[in-house]
Structure 1
Amino acid sequence: MKQHQKMLLGIVIGTVAGIAANLLVGGAPWLDWVVTNVTSLVGQLFLRLLLMLVVPLLFAALVTGVCELDLRSIGRLGVRTLGYTVVISSIAVLIGLFLVNTLKPGTRLSEEAIAALVQKGSVVKAAPAPSADSVPGLILSMVPTNPIKAAADGDMIALIVFSLISGVGLMVTDTPGSRHLKETILGLYDVLMTLIDGVLRLAPIGVGALLFSVTARLGFGILVQVASFVGVVLLALGLHMFVVYSLSVRFLGGRNPIAFFRDCRLAIVTAFSTASSSATLPTALKVAEENLKLPRNVSRFVLTAGSAMNQNGTALFEGVTVLFLAQVFGVELSLANQAVVMFICVLAGIGTAGVPAGSIPVIAMILGMFKIPPEGLGLILGVDRFLDMCRTTLNVTGDLAAAVYVARGEPAPENQTPPVPARSESSVS
């Protein structure tokens, strides 16, 4: 069996077993013990093994990718990546806002369901609201005073800036020592990719354990309670993934969308199972270079930056959630207020941590800005893990779609085979 098929099998077995356990013996003490001490432990170990490799891989991939560019290419790649991110994220939020305003899922929830699901004692700590000098503060925060501390704190944007600067310095320095350092970092990248192959062999077990833990505790009953909200989120995510990304890949990337999604299967399944863009970065890099045949300097640059900045699914989810909770509690948001929500969601999608539930504090901050009761997040927390898996899938697919767009027209390095040209529909089995 291929790797993605093994992971899909793990997803099916873990989900079915979890639902069966929830229906048959839900609430039994021994089931709670198994979930806490066995399946959750196995799943979290798998996630930690992936996350352990993210920081060194991000540094090594970005430095080696920049070393193969020239100064003009860096500026061009940066502008194209950022421009693509802003435009596609804006489209994602607009799709979400349009569907919420049209379908009005927040008006369909009964008072009994709200009372049962809202947990007033579990309000999430909100992210700090943007201040008047937030733009200068954002720019300053992008340049770390201590890159090691930034890496330890999970400040991926600061780490990306440090890696870019290091790559540029290594590119313009031609000494025996710098050439040796370049080879050393390239060797580090090769070792990390070997370790990733080993970790992915454990993926079916880790994925099955994660999904068993979620479904055994919650079942699908909670999805029924907030089915309208879940349905709108899934509809918006599906439209963006299969319509917007397909158009982007076809017309901006010059590739066959069907072939693109087929080649990205392993990254898509990994993203869905881990619910973490950061944890999926190693697999996305592997897919970009081995399946999509993208120039490695472009794929390393775009995907490492995209794992922290190109969060289309996160931006969409935040916008939908804010408007949904506003409808639940009867808070009217004007078009101007919705435009502010959209702007914040796009910016938050660039700065939100690529880890499970990383968007929840940002949503809490936006709710506070518009006087929407923050305890409404209790409605979301019960289904957030499932929706996080779905939006992370969109985020990672968006990173690969962005890499395809940016790679088009970029010359491939002399020592690498150029990207595979677009295939016709008739060539797809």
Structure 2
Amino acid sequence: MEKTKRGGVPLYLWMLLGFAVGLGGGLYVNLNDLVVIPWVMELIQAVGQIFLRLLFMLVIPLLFAALAVGVAEMGDLKSLGRVGFKTLVFTIMVSAIAVGIGLVMVNYFQPGAGVDPALAAQLLEDGRDGAAAIVGNAPTSIEAGQFFLDMIPSNVITAAADNQILPVMVFALIFGIGMVMAKSKATDALQESLQGLLEVMMKLINAVIKLAPIAIAALMFNLAAVFGWDLLIRLGAYAGVAVGAMAIHMFIVYPLLVMIFGGMNPLKFARGVREPFVVAFSTASSNATLPVAIKAAEEQLKLPKRISRFVLTVGATANQNGTALFEGVTVLFLAQFFGIDLNLQQQLVVMLVCILGGIGTAGVPAGSLPVVALILVMVGVPPEGIGLILGVDRFLDMCRTTLNVTGDLVAATVVSRGEKDIPAEVSGPLPVAPPTS
């Protein structure tokens, strides 16, 4: 997340303040059995709804531009076509592993379970009404037998109008591949235009996120007034499961990938990535860490310069294992919190959307929020539940950014195996990536 400031204070501190104010007010109402004046409660709920509507308003053009450009960039250099393919395969494979770990952890530890079913059902019903108002005709369930057919939109404009996220993402993926196949001056101009659209959406997302402290206070007040102390207990369990899943991916999966597919000693790799690891965790910004990561890849890991620069730059916008894992854990946690039992097919759909979302939302500060909200609607969970996790999102953002950056370096190590460097005079300047979270 960007280190955005309001009045000299970092935005995440304002968000934390909003979380505390909303939580404190809601707990006070809950513990004292107070009745809030109806029009006041309606106003508080409207504030949260406005924030969610703004996110939904931006999500379709944001995802389409980010995913199409991300895929197009992977095959942008013909001389690195093989490297681009290897990078794409690695990204999909490792993101699937990351999301799989997250889903297994949530299913095993059940961090969202144990909430009073009557209260959950009450808020769920209210939330579904609000969700329907926000997303219109978006499906609130996933019907068996129609999954693969529904992935291919017969009319992408209609799919976008109905906020059907998966068909739109599949179309964006195919569109990006088409831009690579039809490489020309015209497609270069089209890619540049989509990059411009992406930058506009990123700027607007940043503007909307500045409203987050107020929205968090409103959403948390509503949730805390209903659930009381159960909210804090479930939230702590959620954060613990999310961090645990990230730790497994970081300290077990990554070393195995480096050793088996990268041909490098994991201890040597760990020593080489210490600096970008620390920078990523402290700044929670992949963009700020990119130059440090490139330096570590070239000087510490001794990877071919042209290969590592390409993979790390693409990875900063497309290889977001931590983001994909976070989205999967969050969706299942909130489903458990509201008492919704997701079957295997629904969880596989969540997994697929999270894998694509790891590519499609990279480069956007807090860009996972719209994706999480739309997935929640797909499985019948009120998107207002997002307010539950925003208070601890800063710490989780630091953790998943560290996982993202380390994953980029793992990808560079694996893809570089068997590749030779290009002479220094041909290698050119360092590529510049757009801002990422």
TM-score, structure 2 length as denominator?
0.59
- Per the TM alignment, residue 83 of structure 1 is displaced from its structure 2 partner at its CA by 0.9
Cα distance in 1 for residues equivalent to 2:232 and 2:87 = 36
Correspondent of 1:248 among 257, 269, 272: 257
Aligned pairs for 1:339-418 within 5 A: 339-415=348-424
Correspondence for 1:89:
95
Which range moved further: 237-246 or 81-90? Answer: 81-90
Q: CA distance change for structure 1 residues 240 and 258 in 2, over 3 Å: closer, same or farther?
A: same
Q: Is the 8 A contact 2:307 2:412 kept in 1?
A: yes
- Counterparts of 1:249-268 in structure 2, within 5 Å, are 249-268=258-277
* Amino acid aligned to 1:347: L
Q: What is the one-letter code of the residue matched to 2:170?
A: V
Displacement of 1:307 in angstroms is 0.8
- Indicate the residue corresponding to 2:238 in structure 1: 229
Aligned partner of 1:80 in structure 2 is 86
How far apart, CA to CA, are the structure 2 residues paired with 1:138 and 1:155? 19
Counterpart residue number, 1:202: none
1:160-199 to structure 2, matched below 5 A, reads none
Structure 2 unaligned residues grouped into runs of 5+: 15-68, 136-159, 180-186, 201-219, 221-228, 426-437
Q: Between 391-400 and 223-232, report the one with greater CA deviation.
A: 223-232
The 1:226–1:345 alpha-carbon spacing in structure 2 relative to 1, beyond 3 Å, is same
CA drift at 1:136: 3.5
> Cα deviation per residue 1:247-281 (whole Å; 9 max; x = unaligned)?
01111111121221221122112222222323322
1:105 alignment counterpart? 111
Retained in 1: the 8 A contact 2:169–2:356? no
Tell me if the contact between 1:368 and 1:374 (Cα under 8 Å) persists in the aligned partners. yes
SS in 2 for 1:106: coil
Moved segments of 4+, more than 4 Å: 41-44, 108-115, 117-120, 125-128, 131-134, 141-149, 221-225
Q: How many residues align?
A: 298
Aligned with 1:37 (options 4, 7, 13)? 7
CA contact (8 A) 2:280 2:405 kept: yes
| Residues 318-340 of structure 1, C-alpha deviations (whole Å, 9 max, x = no match) | 11111100000011110011111
Q: Distance in 2 between matches of 1:131 and 1:392?
A: 24
CA distance in 2 between counterparts of 1:260 and 1:113 reads 49
**Counterparts of 2:343 and 2:82, CA distance in 1:** 38
1:140 corresponds to which of 162, 165, 175: 175
Alpha-carbon contact 1:314-1:391 (below 8 Å) kept: yes
Distance (Å, rounded) in 2 between the aligned partners of 1:279 and 1:81? 22
Counterpart residue number, 2:318? 309
Tell me how far 1:415 sits from its aligned partner: 4.6
Q: What is the identity, as a one-letter code, of the residue corresponding to 1:136?
A: F
Query: Which residue identity does 1:105 align to in structure 2?
Result: P
- Distance change (3 Å), C-alpha of 1:38 and 1:265: same
1:293 aligned partner:
302
2:320–2:362 Cα contact (<8 Å) kept: no
Q: TM-score, normalised by structure 1?
A: 0.61
Q: Distance in 2 between matches of 1:381 and 1:363?
A: 12
Contact kept? 1:276, 1:354, Cα under 8 Å: no
Would the aligned equivalents of 1:268 and 1:393 in 2 still touch at CA under 8 Å? yes
- Paired residue type of 2:267: I
Asked whether the equivalents of residues 267 and 280 of structure 1 are also in contact (C-alpha less than 8 Å), the reply is: yes
Taking a change above 3 Å as real, the CA distance of residues 383 and 78 of structure 1, as seen in their structure-2 partners, is same
CA RMSD across the alignment: 3.9
TM-superposed deviation, 1:287: 1.8
d(CA) in 2 for partners of 1:356, 1:110: 34
Identity %, equivalent residues: 51
